[in-house]
Structure 1
Amino acid sequence: MRRLLLPVVLAVAMVVAMAGGTTVANAVPAGAGWRPTAVPRSEVAAGEMRSDREEVPAGFSKAEADRAETLEARRDAAPGCQVYWPAPYEVCGAIRDKYNELGGPNSFLSFPKSNELTNPGGYGKRTEFVNGPIYWSPQGGAHPVVNHFFAAWARNGYEAGPLGYPTSDEIVNPDNIGRRQYFEHATIYWKLNEAYAVRGAIRDKWGEAGWESGYLGYPVSDEFATPDGIGRGARFEHGMIYWTDAYGAHPVSGGLLDKWTLSGYERGPYGYPVADQRPRGSSWDQDFQFGTMGFPTDPVAAGVPDDEGGDTDVDEPEPVTWQDFADDAGLGVSARVTQDKAGSLDPCRPGESCTEEGAATAAPRTVRDLPIADGPDTQGRFIPEWCTRDPFDSRWKVQRKHACATWSNLAVKVRDTKGAEIGRMEYAVKSGILSSHKSGALQQEFRVEFGNFTGEVGKPTLVYQPTYLGYGTGAYSVDGPASGSPVSPNSVKTFVVTWKQQTKPDNTQWSPGLQITWNLGNLAPNVTASNSGTYRYSGFRCDSTFKMARKYRQGCVVPGSTPTFELTALVPEQTWHVQEAIRSGLPGGAGRPLSRLTDQVKRDINRQMSCPRSGPVYAARQLPGRSCDEYPFASTYQGSALSNGPGRTVHEYCHVADLPIATGSTGYSVCMIDAGQNSRSGSLLGAFYRTQRVVDQDDFTLTTTGGAPPAKP
């Protein structure tokens, strides 16, 4: 094993250690040669050595210096060689000439520390110096290889490796920052701290890209073999170059490299690059073995739908009236959950009129039996029948774009100013809030249904105060009776608060805080006002992450309510595929929701894994009128590349012979289905995401009805 140490020497001459053909200030001019300082024999006392007259330089003993002087005196012992006192070694031939050209001991190499050596292959020669060797070969001549260049050459097997012998000294690059040195089969480039070898077709492609001044910059790795043993690659400051025998060398850089890295490089669904990158408008495309990668998005191949696309209600106007909001919310009876305490009553204080929960002897009559005494007639749109059906539990019942709550069997003990109970007022409170996927505004109905009044109740009034938490009074408007208006038995007070849309930055999310504080005041001087109740809700999530009609638009939903995507006979083959895939064990049904993935890069990788757009797999699956359908959807975190499971299909009619018919809880399924249905289904899924404001990582489930398998191929 060759051992060559590179110690740090004290000589100031070592500062210019990287300059091929460059010498330090004390060196003789290039080509002039180095001449030892000799003392004529007539001036030397008999038996006296130079070491007796001069201090021997550090690193050498007197014995070594004396041996060097003896060798210098035997000028006919080794023709073509030279000794450099006090080093007792002979430097010969072309290596001597190069050494003298550089400045001899005054150069960055310092003194020799070996005689001329034959390299392990028995072919070239070298002489080792304090700060590095000079190597010689018949085809390359003599050249020093030092510091980081030597380290890079050593990593690659010295002259016996793929680089071969040096063919030049170090050369300063045009940028006056880095350096390079040529070898028989490669070039080593250095910048600031490290040096790396570039060779073969990868070096040629790098040259086409502009060398170190091009868009790839300097190399930051040696050439390496890919894990599959098929290709080779090298890293540069701003990209990589990969080579295969079948496709040659091609750079991958920028966003395309980020995407390819995320997909797993050549082991991922795209495979090796087969062409250089090319512009596509403001995007870039590059062809790989199994499809075309684009950044930021892949170009959509014919017959391969993007399940984010499709025409939706993006051009419809924002809702304004309560009817608009009610229609948008679609108040069904499915997917209801409960969350958050709906409100509270302040503790009763001695001597005040005070609400008792559950104290009334009978529930107030239903709204249909009560006249609308004051306020807008919303026809129960905010508070549907199912909202009042369940027992009172002081919690909000929510759907994706709706929240409602009811407080039944309430009564106020009416007291006079001395604290004596003088009457009773029965009532119930109902409230409903509607949101829209097309607006950041919300509308809330607050409804008080009064029952029987008994005893002396004075002149009661409805006192209320809306508060949009974090905003002033201009953040909302009220349609209905003014605060402080009088109330009567067996009547209804209702008002609707529009919580206005607030200006928010694009691509943000927030949770609005809505609060209504109210109580029953009294105009009679001898009756106290009732204790106040505070009813608040902060369960909506608003966002400005969806682009509608070419601009971002706000919308609000209840994230705690998981929406359901319904697949029907509109797309029977895709519905059937999803149904069978879920039956085979994949997620998406009740209890195992999918979660939306908005990262276009990761969606492309999912889609490319399940439905490659070129190559033998793509060709084998092709059928007229059909396109590739994957499940779970590419736009979910359960998609193929992220599923951590194997691919499969559900039936031989799917025409996916490269995948088995199998079951299991992980993985993905592929089926070739009617191309029109596949495209239509993608549009429907895109519309579902928008209308339900399904943002990144939001869960959703699926239902399937009316599916039918594709025809036998």
Structure 2
Amino acid sequence: MRLTPLALAVALFALPAYAQDEDDCPSDEQLISSMSLAELQHYEYTLKNPEMSFEEACNDATEDDDEKAIGSRQHYCVKRSADYSSYNTDTGTVETAKVTMYDYVTLPRTGTTWNHRIRVEFEPVQGNAMAGLIVAPDVYCGSCTDRQQFDPQTLAGPGTYEFVAALGFDTENGMTSQNTQLVLTRFDVDETPIQMVAPQLRCDKIATTHYSGCRFSTYPSVLEISQSDADVDESAVHLRDAQMRLPGNVGRWSEDPNLRGEPLTRLKNVTAQTANRSAAKELCRSRFPGGPGAGQNCDEYPFASTKQGAALVPEDSMSVKYIDGSDNKRVGGRLSEFFCATARLHDGDEFWVSIKE
């Protein structure tokens, strides 16, 4: 019987922690065993609901293409509007409509197949330009190894119409792009009023060898930690203060590129991570000779799993502090999930940390 993540966490709780392999990423079982109840509930929800709804994905959609489209490493939505006119040979009149097309994708947590979705809305302007109109969105995915085109629909009138095509990219490491166009046919006349370009997609088994996955790699990678989250509040306060003090405001996130700190970069080498942790612990001992309080351990920023870790940068580029050990461990688990699953970062990929209130 396959256990749910919550049941699996209970079963694993009493077992010793697994040793991470040289891949540096924990397995799903390891991640699950370290999650809080709230994290487990969110994890189970995402497994049951792998795709965002149209409203979630496209609520703030704009008409920008590529990496400017509304989205994240795991989803995007592009909106485009155009006027459509058709000469009705039966009545000898020109009929017009406003067409709005949404092009959107939500990538699954793991795997290299996904659903490419299209929503098209037609509003009449003059006459009924939708009567007998054949709507056939077309998607081009240059490196896709699995391709399915959208099924065309013949309309009778205005309304909202949904289309879906399954795509896949079976590769150990590669990039692909997706271009979509809307083809409208009426009275044997074809028109293409809308064309769109999706953000670049990277599929790989490099971020972690435990499972393959795809992400929109041109979007910034941002780990969020909240000061109001009781599970990680001590870490959040330390990271916030460190980002304010350290040179270059390293890792500080802002939507405004001019206000962002210098990026952090992922470090996958386990030996180098161990050296960073050892150097951070030595800094804690020298800066806080009184030692940790009960249940505390040394928290370091930048993280040991970055190329800005304690063994790799000057001491004045590091912040260390004794904080609650369980809090520290939870952030470590979230960072692993972020590196290996949410953002799927390769060695040397940049990311930032957003500290929420």
TM range (shorter): 0.7 to 0.9
- The alpha-carbon distance between structure 1 residues 491 and 632, as it changes in their structure 2 partners (threshold 3 A), is same
What's 1:445 paired with?
117
Question: Are 2:230 and 1:563 equivalent residues in the alignment?
Answer: no
**CA separation of 1:406 and 1:612: change in aligned 2, threshold 3 A:** same
- The residue aligned with 2:31 is 312
Q: Quote the residue 2:141 is aligned against.
A: 468
Whether the 8 Å CA contact 1:401–1:557 is kept in 2: the answer is yes
Whose relative contact order is higher, 1 or 2, with alpha carbons under 8 Å and at least 6 apart? 2
Q: Which amino acid aligns with 2:183?
A: N
Tell me the alpha carbon deviations over residues 509-541 of structure 1, each in whole angstroms, 9 at most, x when there is no partner: x2222233331112x3xx623246443324222
Structure 1 spans left out of the alignment, 5+ residues: 1-282, 284-294, 298-305, 327-377, 648-666, 707-713
Which one of the candidate residues 155, 161, 164 is aligned to 1:487? 155
Q: CA RMSD in A?
A: 3.9
Is the 2:181–2:192 contact (alpha carbons within 8 Å) kept by the matching residues of 1?
A: no
Write the deviation string for residues 36-86 of structure 1: whole angstroms up to 9, x where unpaired.
Answer: xxxxxxxxxxxxxxxxxxxxxxxxxxxxxxxxxxxxxxxxxxxxxxxxxxx
Aligned to 2:349: 698
Q: Which residue of 2 aligns with 1:352?
A: none
Indicate whether 1:633 and 2:292 are aligned: no
Residue segments in structure 2 that go unaligned for 5+ positions in a row? 1-18, 34-39, 254-259
CA distance in 2 between counterparts of 1:320 and 1:576 reads: 31
Q: Which amino acid counterpart does residue 600 of structure 1 have in structure 2?
A: V
Change (3 A) 1:704 1:423: closer
1:407-556 equivalences under 5 Å are: 407-408=80-81, 410-415=82-87, 422-452=94-124, 454-455=126-127, 457=129, 459-471=132-144, 475-477=146-148, 482-483=151-152, 485-500=153-168, 502-505=169-172, 508=173, 510-522=174-186, 524=187, 528-531=189-192, 533-547=194-208, 551-556=210-215
| Residue of structure 2 in register with 1:576 after alignment | 237
> Offset at 1:393?
4.8
**Residue 567 of structure 1: how far off its partner (Å):** 4.1
The separation in 2 between residues aligned to 1:320 and 1:579, in whole angstroms, is 31
Q: CA deviation at 1:610?
A: 1.8
The alpha-carbon deviation at position 307 of structure 1 amounts to 10
The alpha-carbon distance between structure 1 residues 428 and 313, as it changes in their structure 2 partners (threshold 3 A), is farther
Letter in 2 for 1:562: S
The amino acid of 1:646's aligned partner reads E
Secondary structure in 1 matching 2:219: coil
Distance in 2 (CA, whole Å) between partners of 1:456 and 1:676 is 64
> Which among 235, 252, 260 is matched to residue 589 of structure 1?
252
One-letter amino acid of the structure 2 residue matched with residue 581 of structure 1: A
Is the contact between residue 398 and residue 561 of structure 1 (CA under 8 Å) also seen in structure 2?
no
Distance 1:697 1:452 in 2: 51
The Cα of 1:687 is off from its aligned counterpart by 2.1
| Percent identity over paired residues | 19
Q: In 2, distance between residues paired with 1:543 and 1:687?
A: 16
Offset at residue 542 of structure 1 (A): 2.2
**Counterpart residue identity of residue 251, structure 2:** G
TM-score (norm 1): 0.39
Q: CA deviation at 1:452?
A: 0.6
One of 324, 330, 338 as aligned partner of 2:50: 324
1:517 aligned counterpart, secondary structure:
strand
Residues 521, 669 of structure 1: alpha-carbon distance in 2 compared, 3 angstrom cutoff: same
The residue identity in structure 1 corresponding to 2:214 is G
SS in 2 for 1:436: coil
Give yes or no for contact 1:596–1:635 (8 Å, CA) kept in 2: yes
Q: Which residue of 1 aligns with 2:55?
A: 380
**How far apart, CA to CA, are the structure 1 residues paired with 2:333 and 2:104?**
32
Q: Distance in 2 between matches of 1:695 and 1:441?
A: 20
Alpha carbons of 1:296 and 1:465: their partners in 2 closer, same or farther (altered >3 Å)? Answer: closer
Output the TM-score relative to the length of structure 2: 0.72
Per-residue CA distance 1:435-482 (angstroms, 9 max, x = gap):
13322222221111111153575732112333332346xx1346x7x3
* DSSP 3-state at the match of 2:163: strand
Q: For residues 535-585 of structure 1, what are the alpha-carbon distances to aligned partners after superposition, in whole Å with 9 as ceiling and x for unaligned?
A: 33242222212447xx33323244323323314331333223222222323
Q: Secondary structure at the match of 2:307?
A: coil
Where does 1:63-212 land on structure 2 (aligned, <5 Å)? none
Deviations, residues 171-214 of structure 1 (Å, cap 9, x unaligned): xxxxxxxxxxxxxxxxxxxxxxxxxxxxxxxxxxxxxxxxxxxx
| SS of alignment partner, residue 312 of structure 1 | helix
d(CA) in 2 for partners of 1:399, 1:617: 39
Q: For residues 531 and 582 of structure 1, do their structure 2 counterparts lie closer, same or farther at Cα, with a shift above 3 Å needed? A: closer
Residues 623/451 of structure 1: CA separation in 2 closer, same or farther (3 Å cut): closer
Instruction: Confirm or deny: 8 A CA contact 2:83 2:193 kept in the other structure.
Output: no
Deviation at 1:404, TM superposition (A): 0.8
Q: How does 1:293-372 map to 2 (within 5 A)?
A: 311-312=30-31, 323-326=49-52
Equivalent residue, structure 2, for 1:598: 268
TM-superposed deviation, 1:636 = 1.2
Residues 424, 546 of structure 1: CA spacing in aligned structure 2 closer, same or farther, 3 A cutoff?
same
Structure 1 CA distance for aligned equivalents of residues 69 and 197 of structure 2: 10
CA deviations on 1:587-625 (whole Å, 9 max, x unpaired) are 221311322222222222222222149x99998745543
Q: Pick from 662, 686, 698 the counterpart of residue 336 of structure 2.
A: 686
Aligned counterparts of 2:307 and 2:335: Cα–Cα separation in 1: 15
Contact 1:545 1:552 survives alignment (8 Å): no
Give 1 or 2: higher helix fraction: 2
Q: Which has the larger radius of gyration?
A: 1
Counterpart in 2 of 1:609? 279
Cα distance in 2 for partners of 1:467, 1:495 equals 15
Q: Counterpart of 1:603 in 2: which secondary structure?
A: helix
Aligned in 2, Cα 1:563/1:622: closer, same or farther, shift over 3 Å?
closer
Whether contact under 8 Å (1:596, 1:637) holds in the other structure is yes
Which of 298, 323, 330 matches 1:673? Answer: 323
Amino acid at match of 1:324: P
